[in-house]
Amino acid sequence: MKGMNRREFIKVSLMAGASSLVAARLAAEGVDASAVVEAGAPDVTGGRLIASAPVLQNAAETSIGVSFAVSALASGWVEISKSPDMSGAKRVYSGDCGLMDVNDKVALVRIRGLRPATRYWYRIGADRMEFKRYRPYNLGSETDGKIHSFATLGAENTGSFCVIADSHQRNPALGMMLAKLQELTPAVAIWNGDATGNFNTTIDDALKAFVHVHPDYPEYAADTPFMFVNGNHDFRGLFNRHLQDLMMFREPDERLPRYASLGRNFVQRLGDVALIGLDTGEDKPDAHPFFGGVAKFEPYRHLQTRWLADAIETPAVKTAKFKVAFCHIPLYDANPAHNAGDAIDEGKAAEWHRPCAQMWGPLFEKAGVNLVITGHTHRFRHDPPGDGRTWDHIVCGGCDIWGRGANRKFPTVIEGRVDGGRLVVRVHDLVAKKIALEKTFG
């Protein structure tokens, strides 16, 4: 809704006299209600509770995640319908069963039980909550009147996928990426890591990185579901150790209990394409002094390897005509002088990740993976198959815009769609406004 005032969409339906209602309830509980109310019941008639557009995340066949910012203590919800007029809408609240989630920064709603490859319409809302002593009180609801839409993934979904990476909260490049996504309207967008710029110390920092991402695109993920893949920068800063409190881990049912900590890995079908998401973790060995002794990415990568070995045996992958894998750090580099992420005495960032390549490469060969899309170096590159590697490797461009000729760095959007039974992958150069690469599979 570029250029539009979000207030136009906000319908505030606060309950009149909510403070007195709280007082009445407290009195019924035997609480000294007058003292509580005099102590400062909030002004429930002013200020918006819903503080952002929804962010769709964790696209899947039968579930979706929705998050949005709130300005005060609240329990968020989503109303979802199979009709654009919202007839028969069901309301889904934040949190699982038992206690629903109440939070003063963000609402996280996980919607389950959806039909694959089906379009849904939805709107968000929140209940303003207040705690007096041990009890929560509902002070009324606010609904964002704007209705958004998305389609679930699945083998019958004929939409496209797009990939962005390394935006690092740099608005010129991120704006180009989001504009291109708006033009291409993919079924799903993979955010292939390093979304974070200035490392997130607090949830307010992270809200800027993942919810209020760009002033011109306040609804960047309201109608396009995103799959977020960690980059090495997305592990840095104190709040990023709890990033799942803002960008949810994927639906737990998607993975076996032994893979519970792999909250961002995914295998999802988009038509004839199996999308496989992996996490390369940080770009240095765990013992590197940079981590202060509190990194355990080596066992994390080994666990990912076991997950991948299982994932490629699933029907979603085995029956797919095309297989495309995503991770942040490149899994190939032809230059033997480049830092391969396994040197303890290396001060520079890794250009690629040899340990992951050695573990995952043979599994990609076994599964017949066609293409691996990475990022991290901020420089678009295509490595055709070779050196015993049967899969193409494409490195996304990122936030850097400089240089000339072969040294030029530019942001990209990678687009993949099945057309006439063949997978066509295009790399859009967002500065030159041309196709930097078109590669067809099948």
List contacts with Fe ion (CB under 5 A): 166, 194, 231-232, 376
- Output the DSSP codes for 374-403: E-SSSS-EEE-SBTTB-SEEEEPP-S--B-
Is the separation of the CB atoms in 265 and 278 below 8 Å? yes
- Kindly state the smallest distance separating residue 400's Cβ from Fe ion, in Å: 9
| Rounded CA separation 376/235 (Å) | 14
User: What span, in angstroms and rounded, lies between the C-alpha atoms of 392 and 382?
Assistant: 7
In the complex with Fe ion, the residue whose CB is nearer, 166 or 392, is 166
Distance between CA atoms of 255 and 303, rounded to whole angstroms? 12
| Residue matched to tokens 């709280």 | 22
CB-closest chain residue to Fe ion? 194
Q: How far is the CB of 329 from Fe ion (least distance, A)?
A: 6
Residue 280 C-beta: closest distance to Fe ion, Å: 9
Instruction: Tell me the closest approach of the beta carbon of residue 196 to Fe ion, in angstroms.
Output: 9
Report the residue number, 66 or 164, with the smaller CB distance to Fe ion.
164
Residue closer to Fe ion, measured from CB, 166 or 351 = 166
CB of 194 to Fe ion, least distance (A): 3
Contact 371, 325 (CB under 8 A): yes
CA-CA-CA-CA torsion sign (197, 200, 204, 207)? positive
Least separation in angstroms between residue 378's CB and Fe ion is 6
Map residue 359 onto helix, strand or coil: helix
Q: Which is nearer to Fe ion, 144 or 194 (CB)?
A: 194
Report the alpha-carbon distance of residue 219 to residue 124 in Å, rounded.
13
Dihedrals φ, ψ of 391, to 5°?
-105, 145
Minimum distance from CB of 278 to Fe ion (Å)? 14
Residue 75 or 232 with smaller CB distance to Fe ion: 232
C-alpha span between 136 and 141 (Å, rounded): 14
Q: What letter would DSSP give residue 10?
A: E
DSSP tag of 154: B
Q: Which is nearer to Fe ion, 270 or 396 (CB)?
A: 396
What are the structure tokens assigned to 405, written together?
Answer: 């000729």
Q: Token match 């509190």: residue?
A: 294
Q: How far apart are CA 214 and CA 410, in angstroms?
A: 19
Whichever of 128 and 376 has its CB closer to Fe ion, that residue is: 376
The phi, psi pair for 11, rounded to 5°, reads: -110, 110
Closest to Fe ion by CB, 194 or 415: 194
Cα–Cα separations (whole angstroms), residue 300 to 236, 296, 435: 16, 7, 36
156 vs 346 by CB, closer to Fe ion: 346
Q: How far is the CB of 80 from Fe ion (least distance, A)?
A: 35
Q: Provide, rounded to whole angstroms, the least separation between the CB of residue 193 and Fe ion.
A: 6
